[in-house]
Structure 1
Amino acid sequence: MEKFKLVATTAMGLESIVNDEVKALGFKTTSENGKIYFEGDGAAIAKTNMWLRVADRVRIIAGEFHATTFDDLFEQTKAIPWEQFLSVDAAFPVAGKSVKSTLYSVPDCQAIVKKAIVERLKIAYNRTGFLDETGPLYKLEVSILKDKVTLTIDTSGTGLHKRGYRLGQGDAPLKETLAAALVKLTRWNPDRPFVDPFCGSGTIAIEAAMIGQNVAPGYNREFLSEQWPWIHKEVWDQVREEAEDLAKYDQPLDITGFDVDPKMIRIAEGNAAEAGFNDLINWQQSDVRDLTIDGLNGVMVGNPPYGERMGELEEAEELTEVLGRLMATHPSWSVYMLSSLENFETMYGKRATKKRKLFNGFIRTDLYQYWGKRK
């Protein structure tokens, strides 16, 4: 099967994690802001969609070129062998964006790219008139940055953070991909206790369980490229069978999620059951002020309240202070907290071993890392 240039997109600050994930699947990579490039065939598309925990999407790069006129855009788009990707009845909406480029009108760029591809397919398939677009869906994007045009095809469909287990969520849910990133950054393994003191709908704890038992994040969902005729069903079947074989369902886990809101505990229990971890994660309704932490060499990961709303800042600071006092009595534990509080370290009572800038949606945050002294 032919190889394509592929790109795994990710949130800013998580590139190194996704780069390691792609390499671990056996691909050579190069990276830039928010993008990890690699090459692969249809099987690679299936495998990366199935296994990448932190990436947002996997896209095919159909073509790249510079264009400063609409004629340039049309002719160079038309020169791409679109028939390699799109069937004669393909449905292919074109999204677009343009930044610091001569061709700044996104609707015009979308229309021109669409027209060029139609012309190419009509010639390739010896058709006249309209193409009916009643077949498989291919989501295309024209992206222009400083006059460089990149034409991509989305292989994932719904973003990879949609694992399929989250039936319910709270007011400010953490994306599954970011939750997985937080767990991976701790280098936690299932021989150690794991606690989330602000579990909400349970995403961090569930992602830890998936990592602990090596459950493929895409195992219980579908991908857009499964509709495409040139990636045969047998390819997807084989990737899913491999995922099933590699899962360690007998691996014991010591994972606990706490939340002050009993409603969120019920939601977390439902999400965990949907993910297949019904009896493997311990959920407890508890205020941080009342937490009891057991065991040695554990890992605590949390996304505490940011105090973004009026009147909530004081509470967020108090919870941080309480948490700092609690964990000072557990020096063998490592603590990782994602927070937008600029005075987090002051309130926690200790300077972080390491800080990492991350974005939770559009909120700029820091991951404060306190490494325990293992016993």
Structure 2
Amino acid sequence: MSIVTLLPDDVKAYLVAVGEKFQLPLYALGAAESLTDEVATKLAIVAGLEENEATRFVRALHYADFVIERNSEWHFTSKMRTHLSVGLIKQPELFSAAHSLLFQISLTGDPKFAGESIPRYLLNGVGKAFHKSANSPADGLKLYSEAARMELVGSQWLLGQLAIEQQEQGILPSGAVEPPFLRGMTLYQERRLNEAEYFLRRVIKSNEIREEVAISCHLVGKIDSRKPGMQAQAEELLRRSIGIGEKIHHEHHLAQALHTLGQLIGKDRSRVKEAEELLRRSLEISRRNMNHQAQVLFSLGKLIWHTARPEAEQMLRESIKINHKLRNYSAQEMVQKELDRRLERY
């Protein structure tokens, strides 16, 4: 079957117009998330065109309806790129060569040309993980995992999408936790909780003892704790998260999960002592994290107000002091209002 039959009608018409020899070069361009003329020309050459042919071919693409301009960069419509990327998988040699070229550019490209002669995604860490995964999934997953630990910015959002794409296409193992974790975390940061929950629940199906699973159990536990009738399930997930945190010796995560579990259990007045122990342990572990200290002092002060009021008041005042020092003024105001409200009753 000719690969042209796999494409939408408008693309078939385009290929008929430009000639059959340009079918494979068009597929090669589907390896990239976005392109510049320079990189597109290199990919077309890898697919078998002479340099002058590749130049004319890329120039002609700018007149196609399935190409979207973006300053010096351009990309295919979503439908078109899906057709090309899936079809490229059916051409193993070209698939490998195209992704190898793009990976090398991600390693050696000059950052000052990002967004001009080199697509920006290739030089911000996204391209490295995405294109490495194409030829070496195990190494690519390590890069995805490293990216998930970095500050969540726009590049991680794109990386999460591309990782899921590769997993759905069978390039990455279906059970790998890195793609759904990265996608879930970016969605969680955007407060798109329903979408985030879908991906994070995929992560917690894994039995691996690793940070991604621990964090996902924590976040899904927090989500479940807000749902009616889901407290028992939330507690189970939070305890599992704590257990993994202990095994991997991840103190920051452990302190956060203990805090969340303490807050959940503290809602049951018959379990206040148990909740207090969890919160005190979280406080002890996180002594170097002042922001977390302020949060736990607030939770603990509220919890023990009726059983140890002097200590509770001291904790709330300390939380106010820390928030002021950290310039967390909204948190400072919230704790101050809570303290004032409680003091008015006495």
TM-score (norm 2): 0.27
Q: Who wins on radius of gyration, i.e. which is larger?
A: 2
Higher strand share: 1
Name the structure with the higher helix share.
2
TM-score, length of structure 1 as denominator length: 0.25
